Structure 1
Amino acid sequence: MIKVGRIGEIWRYPVKGMAGERLEDCALGERGLEGDRIWALRDEAREEVQSCKTRPDLLRCSARCRPGGGGEVEVRFPDGSVLGSDSAEIDERLSALVGRASTLQALRPASDSAFYRRYKPDAHSWLEELAATFEREPGEPLPALDQLPEPLVDHVSVPGSFFVVTTLHLLTTASLRHLKGLHPGADWDRRRFRPNVLIETEPGLEGLVEQDWIGRRLRIGDVSLECVGTTPRCGAITRAQADFDADTAILRTVVREADQNVGVYGETRLAGRVRVGDEVLLD
């Protein structure tokens, strides 16, 4: 096994589409980090779960799991106010934020497949709407949207979860340094890319190193992860969040210089607990 770095940061996103909370350690299982993507905003007219792709103002909020457990979350709004998921005002405040009548909903079982159903007014416009979220300029490539996995043709996330592809996203500091070197004037804040685990790579590792890990496993303490795919980037990475402004230049660089991808998707093969500072070994 080869040491490729250490865990520099751990992030979970209790509400789909919102900024998340930074942790020192967390349990990691087949459903990802404990408490990750356990709530989501649902558009009541469309009867559809929303994300920061479709409701970018969600990124101006951050969410954290309420201390003490119980499954409730707390949302910090752009004005600094905080409301719990059990607050009588939360739906009204979020609806005003995104400009659509919406409700904050907890995760439901996979058997309730209608809850995860994609809004499809006709046979074509839903795919055009999805393509538009990637915000490509003329001549720039799109991911292969005509090859979506079967569950995602009819659902906005895998039923039983609020994840679109896998339950884990990994990003390295080597990739961020590489992209910053290509476009120093852009804002490469790692939070734009919403990693669950940011890996501080070993000296000498350069470039988009995690792209070479696809199909291989990482060992972090007692945890085993498999890197299963690239992470195509959409317009969400350009959006403003609480601590930084919008920057559309980074998407142009990612599409042109990184084959659209920054970071990789992962799946847990052996559950356990991950901690900041843990060594990351490549099998």
Structure 2
Amino acid sequence: MEQIGIIREIWRYPVKGMAGEALKEGRLVAGAGIEGDRLWALRDTARGEIQGCKFRPELLGCDARLRADGSGHVDVRFPEGDVMGSDDGDIHASLSALTGRSSTLEALRPLGDGSFYRRHKADDHTWFEELKATFARLPGEPLPDFSGAPPEFSEYVCQPGTFFLVTPFHLVTTATLARLRASSPAADWNVRRFRPNVVIETAPEAEGYVEQDWIGRKLHLGSARVACTETTPRCGAVARKQRGLSEDASILRSIVREAEQNLGIYGRGLETGCLRVGDAVYLI
């Protein structure tokens, strides 16, 4: 094994599409991701569809924290500072007002409840046009290649039994952020824009988009192991306004131009274990 860095930050996002919480340590679960990640999501009642920050960017103005009492409930802080719990009956009306759409905050449901995770489809093509629009590309800029997507991608807005679109784990490296910062130094490359589960601090000599070379390999992080599965093409959400971060379209333009539209990689837990800030990261 080769040590390629240390864990600099650990994040989880208890509500899909909202800002999350930084952790000193976390538990990575085999076949999944960080424990407590994406346990809740907003559901548009008219469309009957789960929503994230791609379609409801207003969610990025909220942050969510998982309660430590083991109840599974979360507390949501709204843009104006008000805090409401997932067990507060008024939270649905507050989220509806925030997004301008009648919505409910919903907990995960079992894998077998397929209708809960199904895409809204007015016809055979509008859903795909809506999805492409969320990537906010300018004329001449490439879109992600959807040709290899599994058949269920067109049927479900996220993987049934989860609130994840692709895989349940996502990482970025300081090397990638440094390369992009050098390409556009006036932009704010705050890592919160990219919603990783883990930020790996790479060695000073590591340059460029190093994690792209890890796809198909495995990482040992703390006492857990992760399969690096695929790259992460970026949508317009990275440029959106968040708490403490202004809207900045140059972020997305730089990623598309300089990094082949990818920043970070996806993964999946292979072996359950604990992660702590400062733990060594090894490439297997």
With the shorter chain as reference, the TM-score category is over 0.9
Q: Deviations over 1:35-75 (max 9, x none)?
A: 10000000000000000000000000000101211110000
Q: Which moved more, 1:210-219 or 1:147-156?
A: 147-156
Question: Residue type matched to 1:66 in 2?
Answer: R
Q: How many angstroms apart in 1 are the aligned matches of 2:147 and 2:154?
A: 9
| Contact kept in structure 2, 1:3 and 1:202, CA below 8 Å | no
- Quote the residue 2:48 is aligned against: 47
SS in 2 for 1:93: helix
Q: Report the Cα offset of residue 88 of structure 1.
A: 1.5
Counting only pairs closer than 5 Å after superposition, residues 102-181 of structure 1 correspond to structure 2 as 102-181=103-182
Which residue type is aligned with residue 68 of structure 1? D
Amino acid at match of 2:68: P
Render the CA deviation track for 1:211-249: whole Å, top value 9, x for unaligned: 011011111132111110000000000011111101000
Matched with 1:22 is: 22
Residue number in structure 1 paired with 2:92: 91
SS in 2 for 1:218: strand
Distance 1:75 1:63 in 2: 4
Structure 2 letter corresponding to 1:164 = L
Partners of 1:257 and 1:213 lie apart in 2 by 19
Give aligned pairs, total.
283
Which residues of structure 1 form unaligned runs of 5+? none
| Partner of residue 64, structure 2 | 63
Q: Is the 8 A contact 1:52 1:236 kept in 2?
A: yes
Structural mapping, 1:68-83, within 5 Å: 68-83=69-84
Distance between the aligned counterparts of 1:209 and 1:131, measured in 2? Answer: 27
Q: Deviations over 1:256-275 (max 9, x none)?
A: 11011000001111111111
Deviations 1:102-130 (A, max 9, x none): 00000000100000000000011110000
Query: Corresponding residue for 1:11?
Result: 11
Residue aligned with 2:237, SS: helix
Q: Is the 1:44–1:102 contact (alpha carbons within 8 Å) kept by the matching residues of 2?
A: yes
How far off is 1:197 after superposition? Answer: 0.2
Q: Please, what is the CA RMSD of the aligned residues?
A: 0.7
- State the secondary structure of the residue aligned to 2:282: strand
Shift of 1:147: 3.3
Question: Gaps (5+ residues) in structure 2?
Answer: none
Which letter does structure 2 place at the counterpart of 1:12?
R
Q: What secondary structure, in the 3-state scheme, does the structure 2 residue paired with 1:128 have? A: helix
Aligned residue identity for 2:23: L
Aligned mates of 2:271, 2:89 — CA distance in 1: 40
Superimposed CA distance per residue, residues 120-175 of structure 1 (whole angstroms, 9 cap, x where no aligned partner): 00011110000000000000000122432222110000000000110100100110
Q: Which amino acid aligns with 1:231?
A: T
Q: Does 1:243 align with 2:244?
A: yes
Contact 1:178 1:206 in 2 (8 A): yes
Whole-angstrom distance in 1 between the partners of 2:170 and 2:88: 30
TM-score normalised over the length of structure 2: 0.98
Moved more, 22-31 or 258-267: 22-31
TM-score by length of 1: 0.99
